[in-house]
Amino acid sequence: MMKKFALVVALILATSPVYAELSQYTASKVQRAHNLQQEEKLDEAIRLLAELSPSKAYDKAFVQRMLGIFYWQQGSLNQAITNLSSAVNSGLLQDEQAWVTERMLADILLSDEQFKRALPHYYQLAKNIPESQKADELWLRIAQSHYQVGEWESVLEAIKTYESLSRVDDIQPLTIKLGAQLQLKKWRPALPTLNRLIVLEPNKVAWWQQTAGIQLRLGQSKDALDTLALAKRQEVELSQQDLKTLAQLYAQRGIPVRAAMQYAELNHADTDPELASSQALYWQMAKEWNKAISVWRLAAKLDNKHRWSLAQLLLQEGHYREALAELDHVELDGRKDDVELAKVRAHYKLDNFEQAIIHAKRANNIKSTSASKSWIKYLSQIRKMDS
């Protein structure tokens, strides 16, 4: 940008009709200042111009323009803005570089985060854009300025104009557009924007995450699953939460095997009891009983509260002795009668009727229920028949 602005000085001085409009005295000082600037004596050039007090309004505006440019090159933004603003607002600079001067002022204001001051200049510039200038760049600056002050609808209007002028997708304008769409909760229009961003930056995880998040918000769980699954296949570095969501979406679609496999791949899957229990549950949903039992064992080892689920599945699959061994270590607060009833069932299946009735009575003593009473009655009848 500095090289571009430095050319403004040379172009202004090289434009003979403009130079001719200056008074002879001012013209000589301007020429001297220009030579100093070319000799990299910028401070001297600034002092020379700052000491001038032209009586002619056009001379004053011309000098202020040069001073603004020199101050910018020196890094004195406030003084650059003051002088360029005075030059532009005078309305006297009608030469072919007047548009470039105002563009320079607008860009400096933008870089100095004075967005509201920059916008009127950009809109003025947009009314008559020279063929030598890029109109799409100007509208992108307008969109950036509106974005910085939170004027979201204006951002989208500016980007719409920008896109009508530029047929090439680029990260920056699309990111600005997406930001405004998200702020305005324009979820559906945001999806095509995200798709375009994914094409440009297929490895950026944020675009995939935001796409899936919006799809879930819109109730498009199938699309969200496809989005996350594709991201994973393309080796995008999804977060652990993203991968959990992917597993949950597989389960919702009725593919619990994929859900279980996904949980098995998570970090700490073998050391986190909650991850292990979720994986075991999905294997159970998939009716992969042996795998479910294996993972429930791991979960129970990591946290005793999962031992009850393991014992129940062992009972279901006919591993009664193993179930009893687990039930002896189950701690089920408020449901100790359920543990005793599970032991009744295991002993009954093993033909240990005496032990079965002992546990049935224990269950009944803890909490008298129709189940405990039925077991006691039934087992008592069996004992009578055997005696």
Cα separations in angstroms, 60 against 51, 74, 229, 255: 12, 21, 66, 77
Q: What is the pLDDT of residues 224-249, one digit of tens each?
A: 999 999 999 999 999 999 999 999 99
Give CA–CA dist 72/2, Å, rounded: 9
Please list, residue by residue across 262-282, b when 16 or more beta carbons sit within 10 angstroms of its beta carbon and e when fewer do: bbbebeebeebbebbbbbbbb
The C-alpha atoms of residue 62 and residue 55 are separated, in whole angstroms, by 12
The amino acid at residue 87 is: A
pLDDT for 334 equals 78
Do 108 and 72 meet the contact criterion of CB atoms below 8 Å apart?
yes
Report pLDDT digits (tens) over 86-143.
999 998 888 768 888 999 999 999 999 999 999 999 999 999 988 888 899 999 999 9
CB 83 within 8 A of CB 68: yes
Q: How many residues does the chain have?
A: 387
**All structural domains of the chain with their residue ranges:** 1-133, 239-331, 337-387
Domain 1-133 has CATH 3.90.105.10: no
Phi-psi region of 93 (alpha: psi -120 to 50; beta: other; left: phi over 0): beta
Per-residue pLDDT band for 19 (boundaries 50, 70, 90) equals low
Question: Quick check: 182 and 169 in contact, CB under 8 A?
Answer: no
The band of 14, judged by pLDDT with boundaries at 50, 70 and 90, is: low
What SS3 state is found at 157?
A: helix
pLDDT band at 11 (very low <50, low <70, confident <90, very high): low
Distance between CA 332 and CA 151 in Å, rounded?
57
Judge whether residue 147 has pLDDT over 50. Answer: yes
Write out pLDDT tens, residues 276-286.
999 999 999 99
**CB-hemisphere CA count at 13 Å for 168?**
4
- Domain 1-133 shares a fold with domain 239-331: yes
CB 360 within 8 A of CB 343: no
Of 331 and 340, which is predicted with more confidence? 340
- Report how far residue 372's alpha carbon sits from residue 338's, in angstroms, rounded to the nearest whole number: 9
pLDDT, residue 302, reads 96
Architecture of domain 239-331: Alpha Horseshoe (1.25)
Backbone phi, psi, residue 147, to 5°: -60, -45
DSSP string, 28-95: HHHHHHHHHHHTT-HHHHHHHHHT---SSHHHHHHHHHHHHHHHHHHT-HHHHHHHHHHHHHT----S
